[in-house]
Amino acid sequence: MINSIFRLIDTHAHLDEIEDLDRVIEEAKQVGLVAVIAVGQDYESNVKILEMSEEYKGFVYPALGLHPWNLGNMDASKVDLTLHLIEDNIEKAVGIGEIGLDYDKRVVAAADKERQKEAFKTVLELARRYNKPVSVHARYSWKDSFDLVKASGVIRAVFHWYTGFSSVLREIIAEGYFISATPATEYHDEHRRAVRETPIENLLLETDCPVTYGRETKYQSRPADIVRSLRAVAQLKVMSEQTIADRTTQNAVAFFSLTGKIEKA
Ligand SMILES: [Zn+2]
């Protein structure tokens, strides 16, 4: 296999949920990935991600998080323990994420909106204090998520896999925040609209692996599927894949402060 001409960064991957990581990382490098941002969601996944970032040093970079999906299974002391873990390892983290709000009714039934907001505000405050970028999950909570990020004073934020209203997207862009494009850019109408409406200056690429994508043919994603995000974005924006690759990688390097860390980045 020849090495790709692209240099890409997967800015949001759940590597702790991926099996056979050695092989998966080798495949990722073959398609041109130069870095993967591994995002955590709870105490256990944050610990795993910190370990992986040591094992694959210079390729896997940790973001430590507290996902709204996990709050329902955590009591107050576990939340506290997770927040302490994040703060204790903040210097190793290139970002805080995955964090955010999810207003899907099943998620709200497990952890109500107030509880989600309280946890979100606490991690945003950590990000602000240590000047870390945040990777935000904002499903059905786009406006509230944006408002809380803005109010927190956090300067760098990416609303990952954005599918929300154009009105909120305009606020995201005006604030200098980002959205990231997943492989669902190939077919998902709301996500395609968001990618189309976002200037390349405010765009990152990601896979959110191991999420299952596809309309007719379904597949479980890996970081190497970043090329699907790339290709779909290039087609939508009628720009070359090279231009999209160069610009989104440049954005990701600046966003996660990776200058000098990645070879020739
Ligand atoms: Zn995710």
The Å distance, Cα 98 to ligand 1 centre, comes to 6
Q: What are phi and psi of 12, to 5 degrees?
A: -160, 100
Q: For residue 14, how far is its CA from the centre of ligand 1 (angstroms)?
A: 6
Give the distance (Å) from ligand 1 centre to CA of residue 161.
9
Report the percentage of the chain scoring pLDDT > 90: 95
| 41 CA distance to ligand 1 middle (Å) | 8
Whether the pLDDT of residue 41 is over 60: the answer is yes
Rounded to the nearest whole angstrom, what is the distance from the C-alpha of residue 140 to the centroid of ligand 1? 15
Tell me the mean pLDDT in the region 13-26.
97
CA atoms within 13 A on the CB side of 103: 12
The C-alpha atoms of residue 218 and residue 28 are separated, in whole angstroms, by: 20
Q: How is 205-236 classified by DSSP, letter by letter?
A: E---TT-EE-SSS-EE--GGGHHHHHHHHHHH
- pLDDT at 265 > cutoff 50: no
* pLDDT at residue 146 tops 70: yes
**How much distance in Å is there from the Cα of 39 to the middle of ligand 1?**
7
Q: Average model confidence (pLDDT) for the chain?
A: 96
pLDDT at residue 261, as a whole number: 86
Residues 151-172: what's their mean pLDDT? 98
CA of 183 to the centre of ligand 1 (A): 13
Q: What is the pTM of this model?
A: 0.96
pLDDT band at 260 (very low <50, low <70, confident <90, very high): confident
Q: Separation of 129 CA from ligand 1 center, angstroms?
A: 23
Share of the chain above pLDDT 70, in %: 97
